Structure 1
Amino acid sequence: MAAEGSVRVDSWLWAARVYKTRSLATAACRAGHVKLNGERAKAAQSVKVGDEVRARISGFDRILKVAGLGVKRGSATVAAEIALDLTPPPPPREAVAFVPLRDRGTGRPTKRDRRELERLRGSRDDY
């Protein structure tokens, strides 16, 4: 049973509008994408005001501080009141490495294409 003044972490993530549905928040907890105060969180684990929650969404960590307890999903303004976003801004596009993509429908890369891709990525040692 949860202590007084605490809420399940999956319910809080849903109420804070981090995940679109509560089942997605629960699945993220099961997959290990949610950390509570640096430790891997289970879906039923309790969060209290002042805790730090890290949620991995599409490859990036979102760092949130629990400012209030919300059980029901409300408006975006209510979500902003219960969660303080401490996530650093993303790096500029110039700093992110370019990943070469192939056009859709072009089929498998040929041996020559594959070698060019490996050369661009720097994963192959050419003598």
Structure 2
Amino acid sequence: MSKLPAGPMTEVRVDLWLWAARFFKTRSLAKQAIDGGKIDVNGGGCKPAKALHVGDQLKISRGEERLEVDVLALSDKRGQASVAQALYLETEASRVVREAGKEQRRLTGAAFDHPPKRPDKHARRDLRRMKDAR
């Protein structure tokens, strides 16, 4: 049985690379994002098995976050976060837009609309009554 020589990778599946680069916790979540149209490769849609090459550009949407990254290296193994960050470079325009959105959410208080304290026994009963009345 012969094995192929282990040289530098020339291509890797998009879902596998997204998992290895730590954009998604599992490969199946990466596949769901691709199938849902949340990932674009070089300006067009893709399938999970599409071959990704060094120099490709990806647009990634995760919740309110929109990232545009350039692929610098390929990997099919998930490693440390510092190694994963070396696989891509976020474009300057993407970084500026993402940080501006983050600052806007901070200023509007979108991240802090929690009640000042936990509901007490009577407030919990009132909440249950309101929910049951529907």
1:25 equivalent to 2:30? Answer yes
- Segments of 5+ residues of structure 2 without an aligned counterpart are 1-8, 120-126
- What is the CA RMSD across the aligned residues, in angstroms? 2.6
Distance 1:6 1:63 in 2: 19
Query: What SS class does the counterpart of residue 68 from structure 2 fall into?
Result: strand
Distance 2:114 2:86 in 1: 43
| 1:35 to 1:95, Cα distance in 2 relative to 1, 3 A | same
CA shift, 1:46, in A, is: 0.8
1:88 equivalent to 2:98? Answer no
| 1:29 to 1:93, Cα distance in 2 relative to 1, 3 A | same
Distance 1:80 1:11 in 2: 15
Query: What SS class does the counterpart of residue 88 from structure 1 fall into?
Result: helix
Query: What SS class does the counterpart of residue 95 from structure 2 fall into?
Result: coil
Query: What SS class does the counterpart of residue 49 from structure 2 fall into?
Result: coil
Which structure has more helix as a fraction of its residues? 2
CA shift, 1:59, in A, is: 2.3
Distance 2:47 2:75 in 1: 18
Moved more, 59-68 or 47-56: 59-68
Aligned-residue identity in percent? 33
In the TM superposition, 1:1-127 aligns within 5 A as: 5-86=10-91, 87-89=94-96, 90-91=99-100, 92-93=103-104, 105=127, 107=130
Provide Cα deviations, 1:9-53, integer angstroms capped at 9, x if missing partner. Answer: 000000000111111000000000000011011111111000001
Distance 1:94 1:59 in 2: 10
TM-score (structure 2 length as normaliser): 0.66
- Segments of 5+ residues of structure 1 without an aligned counterpart are 109-127
